[in-house]
Amino acid sequence: MNSEFTPVISATGLFTPEESISNAELVESYNAYADKYNAENPDAEPLTHSSVEFIEKASGIKSRHVVDKASVLNADTMAPRLRERGNEEISIMAEIGVKACKAALEAANRDIADVDAVLCAASNMQRAYPAMAVEIQAELGMEHGFAFDMNVACSSATFGIQTAADYIRSGSAKSVLVVSPEITSGHLNWRDRDSHFIFGDVATALLIEAKDIAPTSHWEILGTHLKTQFSNNIRNNFGFLNRAHGGIEQDSPNTDKLFIQEGRKVFKEVVPMVAQMIIDHGEKLGLSGADLRRLWLHQANAGMNRLIAQRVLGHEASEDESPTVLDTYANTSSAGSIIAFHKHSADLAAGDTGLICSFGAGYSAGSVFVRKAA
Ligand code: CO8
C-alpha cells in the first residue's frame, strides 16, 4: 500500500497516578468496612472478609494506582473524593489525558500543529458534553481539526486505533491522537468483595499516523479487527436516565449503578471468543502464532491471558512473549494493552510482529497486528 495511506503507531504516552494501593492496604480497609457493617446491621447477612491471597491467586493483581488513595481506603467513604472543578478549569480526566498525549507527542517529536484529530476512547466520560476530546484538543493548543469521545468499555482504545487507522487509510487525516483516560476508581464499588480489587486509574495515548510522515522508529499496523457480542455479564447501569427512574444509590453495597460482573462467566465465555478472534484475524493476514514475537493483551486477569496466549501461540507463553502489567496497574480498562505495549515494545527488533488485543464489557474485543519498522 502507498505509504501515504498506510497507518502506523508513531509513539505512545503514559500517565501513571503517583499513589498506589497494595492488596494488603485494600483488604485492611474492606475488612474494617465489613466489620463496621456487621456491627451496625446485626440482622443482615454478615459480610465476609476479603483476602490478599485470594486476590493475587484469582487475578494476578498485587497493587493498583489511583487518583485519590486516602478516600478509597477510608472505610466511611470508600470512593475517590475529588473536588468538583469549575467550568473554567480543566477537568481531571482531560488533565490526565493531556499528560499522556504530551508524552506521545514528545516521543514522536511531533508538533501539535500537524495533528488532525483527537479521539478520546475510554470506558467512562467526565460528562455528557462538551466532549473530553474537545477539551483535550483545546488544552493541547490545537486550533484546527476535530475531536470526539467514544466508549466501547475495555475495548475503547483498540476501537479508537481502528477508527484512526481508517482515517489514514481513507486519506481524511494524517495524524490522530487516541487518548484513554481511565479513572475506573470512580465507577468501582469498593464495598463489593467480589470486585473491589479489580481496577486502577491511568491514562494512555497513541499517535496513529500515515507512514510517510511518521518518525523512523514506528510500528506499522498490519490489520485491525473489531468484534462485539451482547452480554449481560459485565454491566454498569449508571446513566442520565437514572434520575428519571428514581434516584442513584451510590452508597448501597451492591448497587448496579457501579461496575458489576459475573466474573466466572466472563472468564469462561471471553477466553475462547478472543482466542478464536485472534487466530481467525491472523489467518486472514497470513500470520500464525509462530510469527508473533509478542502479545500485548488486555490486562484483566492473569489466568485469562495465560489461556488466550497459549491458544494463540500453541505453547505456554513466557513473560517475554506476553508481558504482564496488571500486577502493578490492575485492570485499567481500555488502557491495559496499551500500557503493556508502551512499557514492553522498545526492545523488539525491526521486522518483529506482535499483537495488541483488548476484550471486555459489551462484550467487545479488538485485535491490532503490528510490525516494527525500525
Ligand atoms: N476475598 C476472598 N474471597 C473471595 C473474594 C475476596 N475478595 N471475592 C470472592 N471470593 C470467594 C468467593 O466468595 C468464592 O467462594 P466460594 O467458592 O466459597 O463460593 C470464591 O472466592 C471464588 O469466587 P469467584 O468464582 O468469583 O472467583 P474467580 O476465581 O472466578 O475469580 C475474578 C474472580 C478475578 C473476578 C475472575 O472471575 C475474573 O477475573 N474474571 C474475568 C473478569 C474480566 O475480565 N472482566 C472484564 C471486565 S472489565 C471491562 O470490561 C471494563 C468495564 C469498564 C470498567 C470501568 C468501571 C470500573
Closest atom, ligand 1, to C-alpha of 361? 50
Q: Quick one: cell of 296?
A: 500485548
Q: Tens digits of per-residue pLDDT, 77-99?
A: 999 999 999 999 999 999 999 99
Q: In what order do the strands lie in the sheet with 201-210?
A: 146-150, 117-121, 175-183, 201-210, 7-15, 219-228, 364-372, 353-360, 294-297
331 lines ligand 1 (CB under 6 A): yes
* CA 257 from centroid of its chain's CA atoms: 20
- Smallest CA-to-CA distance from 260 within 187, 160, 171, 344 is with 187
Q: Distance, CA 201 to ligand 1 centroid (Å)?
A: 19
User: By alpha-carbon position, which residue is closest to atom 12 of ligand 1?
Assistant: 194
Does 303 contact ligand 1 (Cβ within 6 A)? no
Pick from 29, 125, 152, 264 the residue to mutate for probing ligand 1's pocket: most ligand atoms within 8 Å of its CB: 264
Is the minimum distance from the CB of 204 to ligand 1 under 6 angstroms?
no
* Active-site residue list: 154
Mean pLDDT over 332-351 rounds to 98
What is the Å distance from ligand 1's center to 42 Cα?
26
Would the pLDDT of 263 be above 60? Answer: yes
Q: How confident is the model at residue 249 (pLDDT cuts 50, 70, 90)?
A: low
Q: What is the pLDDT of residue 105?
A: 98
User: What pLDDT, in 10s, does the model give residues 36-87?
Assistant: 999 999 999 999 999 999 999 999 999 999 999 999 999 899 999 999 999 9
* Mean pLDDT for the stretch of residues 179-201: 97
The closest residue, in CA terms, to atom 1 on ligand 1 is 50
Cell numbers of 373, please?
A: 519498522
Q: Is the pLDDT of residue 251 over 80?
A: no
R_g of the chain, CA atoms, integer Å: 20
Q: What is the pLDDT of residue 243?
A: 82
Per-residue model confidence (pLDDT) at position 371: 98
Say how far apart CA 92 and CA 96 lie, in whole Å: 6
* Residues forming beta bridges with residue 228, ordered by sequence position: 364
For the residues 194-220, what does the mean pLDDT come to? 97
Contact 307 CB / ligand 1 (< 6 Å): no
Distance 267 CA to ligand 1 centre (A): 9
**Dist. CA 51 → ligand 1 center (Å):** 12
Ligand 1 midpoint to CA 372 (Å)? 36
User: Does residue 186 register a pLDDT over 90?
Assistant: yes
Any ligand 1 atom below 6 A from CB of 301? yes
Stretch 351-357: mean pLDDT: 98
- The residue whose CA is least distant from atom 37 of ligand 1 is 263
DSSP state, residue 360: E
* CA-proximal residue: ligand 1, atom 13 (nearest): 194
CA of 191 to the centre of ligand 1 (A): 14
- From the CB of 299, is ligand 1 less than 6 Å away? no
Domains of the chain: 220-372 (3.40.47.10)
C-alpha 42/C-alpha 180 separation (Å) is: 43
The predicted pLDDT at position 374 comes to 77
This prediction has a pTM of: 0.96
Q: Which of 193, 271, 327 to mutate to test the pocket of ligand 1 (most atoms within 8 A of CB)?
A: 193
Residue 222: pLDDT band (50, 70, 90) is very high
What pLDDT is attached to residue 248? 55
Closest atom, ligand 1, to C-alpha of 123: 53
How far, CA to CA in Å, does 121 sit from each of 23, 41, 142, 162, 339? 28, 42, 18, 11, 14
How far apart CA 228 and CA 225 sit, in angstroms, is: 11
Percent of the chain scoring above 70 in pLDDT: 98
pLDDT tens profile 282-328: 999 999 999 999 999 999 999 999 999 999 999 999 999 999 999 99
